[in-house]
Amino acid sequence: MNALVVIGLCLLIVPLQMQVAGLIAVAGIRPDLPGAVIYGIGLLGGPWTGGGTGLVVGLLADRFGGGLVGPQLAAKIFIGVVGGLLGRRLLLADTKTHGGLSLVLFLLQGVWMTATIWWRTGEGWRELYLTAAPEACYTAIIVMIGLWLMRRRIGERAERLTLLVDR
C-alpha cells in the first residue's frame, strides 16, 4: 500500500470525522469513519500497516476528542491489527462476511469505550445499546459499501489486465 496514501488518510480522517459524520448521521447515530478506514487499510496492507495506522489515528482521535488519552488509541490499534490478520486469510471473502466481522470488531470497540466511560464516571452502560451498538451497525454498513466499491474498481482493472494479456 502506498505510504503517502496511508499518511494522507491518517491526517485527514479525524478532521473528516468531525465535519462529515454529523452530516451523514441517522437519528443522531454517527458512523466511525476512522475505524472503517483503519479496517480497510488493515485488510489491504496487513497487520503492521493496520496497527500503525490505528496508532496514528487513535492518537489523533484521543488528542482532538478532548477525553482521556488511551481508549481510542487501543481500540484503533486493535481494529487495524485484526483487520490486517483477517486480510491475510479472508481478503477474498464476500462483502457480507467482512461486514459481519467488522460489526463484531466495532461492537467490541463500543464495549471497550463504554467500559472506559463507566470506569471514569461510574455510568454509561446504557449508552452501549443506545449508541454503541447502532454506531457499530452503521460503521459495518460503511465498511461493506467501501469494500463493494473497491471490489468493483479492482474487478474492472483485473478485466482490463486480462484483456491486455490475452492479446
Count of domains in the chain?
1
Q: What is the C-alpha separation between 32 and 109, in angstroms, rounded? A: 10
* CATH code, domain carrying 8: 1.10.1760
Q: Nearest 10 degrees: CA dihedral of 145, 147, 148, 150?
A: 120
Quote the pLDDT of residue 162.
Answer: 44
SS3 1: coil
Quote the pLDDT of residue 92.
Answer: 65
Domain that holds residue 59: 3-166
**59 — phi, psi (to 5°)?**
-65, -45
Least confident of 8-17, 45-54, 153-162: 153-162
Average of per-residue pLDDT across 138-143: 91
What percentage of the chain has pLDDT greater than the value 90? 15
Read off the pTM: 0.82
Tell me: the pLDDT tens digits for 101-120? Answer: 889 999 998 888 888 878 87
